[in-house]
Structure 1
Amino acid sequence: MLDQLDSGRWELRSREPGAATERLCLPNGRRLIQLRHPGSDCDRFIVQDSPNEVTVQYTCRGRGYGRTHIRRETNRLVQIETQGIAEGLPFDFSAEARRVGDCPG
């Protein structure tokens, strides 16, 4: 399902009041799995995979772990819930991600 998401510039709007909007350049939807462990080489285990939803649990040795659930509404709009431990601290993040254009460059 994540490979069907459109590549490009995406905005993540946290459901946390007052939180800043994050912007990402996504080559594919798999980047959304590890939002709090970007670029890390992590072991992943697919808990659930259906046409419009995926849940992935991952472990990044020495950096923490997480569990992410992504629900696709369209190939340009998804709902994300992720939680785990990063840099020794817990995180719990819920957001809407929407493709807003092409990546610069």
Structure 2
Amino acid sequence: MAQPAAAPTLRAMRAVAPGQWALRDPGSPEAARNSCIADTAMLFRLKLRAAPCSRFVIEDTPRIATVHYTCPGSGHVRTTIHVDTPRALRIESEGIVDGMPFADAYEARRLGACGGRGR
């Protein structure tokens, strides 16, 4: 059964801290995009951040978490996060947003606390 999006922290994410994160497409020559992440659960919803969603936990281990979000009227997202270290993550996300399919992969590195320039 789907749970509210504010459900308890997943085991894989317990050591992962909020803060300034650099997100980079693996293998891309483009610079990383920095984001201030106040709640690490939002790393599962890099798309559909503002939409009200329910979630279903598919996998919850100490190093890997997979969650499926259903956001009525906006779409759905299935994200797997591999926790290499509490400061280094691999994020794979796919789904449909506003009727358009997507598949994204990111390398995420925690840079430190959020500063005045966070997004």
TM-score by length of 1: 0.91
Count residues with an aligned counterpart.
105
- 1:79 maps to 2:90: yes
| Partner SS state of residue 45, structure 2 | coil
TM-score by length of 2: 0.81
Match of residue 15 from structure 2:
4
User: Cα distance, 1:19 vs. partner?
Assistant: 4.8
What is the distance in 2 between the residues matched to 1:35 and 1:13?
13
| CA 1:2–1:65: 2 relative to 1, 3 Å | same
User: Cα distance, 1:101 vs. partner?
Assistant: 2.0
Q: Identity, % of aligned pairs?
A: 37
Of 27, 33, 37, the residue aligned with 2:44 is 33
| CA 1:49–1:41: 2 relative to 1, 3 Å | same
User: Cα distance, 1:16 vs. partner?
Assistant: 6.0
Match of residue 63 from structure 2:
52
User: Cα distance, 1:15 vs. partner?
Assistant: 2.5
User: Cα distance, 1:28 vs. partner?
Assistant: 3.0
Task: Give the unaligned 5+ runs of structure 1.
Answer: none
Quick check: 1:58–1:66 contact (8 Å CA) kept in 2? Answer: yes
- Which runs of 4 or more aligned residues in structure 1 lie more than 6 Å from their structure 2 counterparts after TM superposition? none
Quick check: 1:76–1:98 contact (8 Å CA) kept in 2? Answer: yes
